Amino acid sequence: MILQELKHSLAKLLKVDPGVVMLNVIEGGLSHKSYRCDVSECSYYIKLYNKIRNISNVVTYTNQLTEYMRGRGVPASRVVFYSSEFPNIVVHEFIEGRPPSGELSQVAAIAGLYSKVAMIGRDHSKYLSKPEYLSPIQIIRDQLETSQVSGAEIDPVIHTGMLSLTDRVLSALEAGMRDEKLLHIHVHDDFTEKNILMDGDQVKLLCDWDSCRLRYCNEHIASTASRFSTTRPLGGLLQQDKLDRFLGTLHPVLFENVAGIEAFAVLFPYWATLKHIRTYLFRSVVVHRDRPDLKQSLLSWPLQHCLWMIDNRQQVSDWISQALPSD
Ligand SMILES: Nc1ncnc2c1ncn2[C@@H]1O[C@H](COP(=O)(O)OP(=O)(O)OP(=O)(O)O)[C@@H](O)[C@H]1O
Ligand SMILES: [Mg+2]
């Protein structure tokens, strides 16, 4: 949709003259186009969806979910205008803020919010068995193998690296996880620096709630704690001070189901890689179809980061054991 067309649609939606609608592109999203829209004193965040199919269901569901979250003190933004006449345009309130800087001083606020979101997710949880948990990961592994054969677009070195990483992670989890019921929580599954806005050390916004789903609690904690403990976004090494602060801020109840902190610490490095494994094919398509300029940050760095985590798993496990209260 060209800018002028969007301006006219927004003017109709907001019931104002097109001449007073000011639009600016917001950089950073991978799947959708986003804009800041200013109309006299009011600012809006516009999300323009690519696919029209089912957007209105997504909006209804996300609205209910974010209202529930706001009621529990989570800064989730509000949809202020939506009409089936323009099904792919969603108008949110605009939140002023900046993405997390990566500094240690912001980690406690981010972990505090994560703790709150995970605790709410615990109220909507379900237990799954070890095979139920591992079989979707096995499916991802098989998809990686198939696309390696047929997908000429995918970087062969990175792709082979991801496949062998996935094999290592799967066999470590197969061997290391006990056959017990695994607590899955209903949680924001894209809790990353890309979906957070801050003002200094305060979190102002957690967006992209369409990604909320059932996730294994231990894996989700490991992925998120490591995500906010790296030396740079989406990659680099882990920093012990950030990891300490993140895990130290989480509500102790989140670790209640953990069968021994030692077992959690040993498997932490493997669980921490899974978010990267689960999203690799999506990131790879984005890079190869639209954003070759992001190959390093979206594909190379995450792989290096995961390999570092596995190669240094003893060190990482020791840090986890030190950061958490012993049994
Ligand atoms: N209500 C808001 N007010 C101000 N800025 C926002 C708001 N919601 C999101 N943003 C900014 O816009 C960026 C992109 O938003 P969002 O995460 O909703 O889309 P996306 O990342 O393109 O979607 P996806 O994650 O599905 O690819 C975010 O990183 C955030 O900085
Ligand atoms: Mg996003």
Bigger pLDDT: 61 vs 165: 165
Domain with CATH 3.30.200 in the chain: 3-93
Specify whether the CB–CB gap between 21 and 39 falls below 8 A. Answer: yes
**Average confidence (pLDDT) over 208-234:** 93
| Residue to mutate (ligand 1; options 50, 195, 204; most atoms within 8 A of CB) | 195
Please check the confidence at residue 325 and state whether its pLDDT lies above 90: no
Ligand 2 center to residue 2 CA distance, Å?
22
Res. 198 pLDDT band, cuts 50 70 90: very high
Bigger pLDDT: 233 vs 114: 114
Please check the confidence at residue 149 and state whether its pLDDT lies above 60: no
Ligand 2 center to residue 192 CA distance, Å?
8
pLDDT digits (tens, 9 = 90+) for 80-107: 999 989 989 999 999 999 999 999 999 9
- Domain 3-93, second-level architecture: 2-Layer Sandwich (3.30)
**CATH number for the domain running over 104-323:** 3.90.1200.10
Res. 258 pLDDT band, cuts 50 70 90: low
Pull the structure tokens for residue 49. 């969806």
Ligand 1, residue 32: give the atom nearest the CA. Answer: 22
pLDDT digits (tens, 9 = 90+) for 59-68: 898 999 999 9
Using CA atoms, how far residue 7 sits from 2, 16, 42, 272, in Å, is 9, 10, 15, 42
| Residue to mutate (ligand 1; options 208, 210, 279; most atoms within 8 A of CB) | 208
Domain with CATH 3.90.1200.10 in the chain: 104-323
